[in-house]
Amino acid sequence: MAITRLGGANAITGTIPQGNIANASLGAVTALPAAIATGKVLQVVSTHKSDSFTTTSTSFTDITGLSVAITPSSSSNKILVSYDITGSEDVDANRFYLRLLRGTTVIGGGDSAGSRFSGIGGFGTHNNTIQSGNVSGTFLDSPSTTSATTYKIQGSCTAGGNTGFINRTEADGNEASQIRSASNITVYEVKV
């Protein structure tokens, strides 16, 4: 039986049956079909902070290691932000508050009112005892962009001389009664 050789890259036209496509060729796919249903998660980016952080700032400051960047594939898609932050503050009447931002825009908190700011929670003391607390939540954001977008957590002490802590207690002594915890922030691009 004779073998026929076809020349040229486009010598054969038509549709290749799906069952004849090797899985390895799927690695070359650079875009998703337009027919993907809404509500599907297209990508996930997460960061996990296991070291501790301390601040005495009375202005909101970035918490090192609690930021994550994502580049949406469509400006109409939404970003679901999930955060889980542990921390404490020193034993006094003050507080250590947190807020969530997209770039420089505060998101996910309550409405500002008068001198009260928008935030997602914070840490305080109860009956003058040192405690470790948790602030967690989710927020569905509409960044309306296809540019790289950073989501981050900031913290602020309510008074000078106050100290806020992430992933540790105030005492942080080398003893069994002290905890070292972890915090994370995860973002999901959701097709709309």
Q: Tell me the sheet residues that pair with 164.
A: 55, 89
Q: Tell me the sheet residues that pair with 190.
A: 41, 78
pTM of the model: 0.78
Note the pLDDT of residue 132. 80
Note the pLDDT of residue 112. 87
Backbone region of residue 152 per phi and psi (left: phi > 0; alpha: psi in -120 to 50; beta: other values): beta
CB 68 within 8 A of CB 47: yes
Note the pLDDT of residue 188. 98
DSSP H helical segments within 17-141, as ranges?
A: none
Extents of the domains making up the chain: 51-183
| φ/ψ of residue 115, rounded to 5 | -85, -5
The CATH code that applies to domain 51-183 is: 2.60.120
Residues of the chain with pLDDT under 70: 1-36, 93, 126-130
Of 33, 38, 30, nearest in space to 191 by CA: 38
Note the pLDDT of residue 173. 79
Note the pLDDT of residue 48. 98
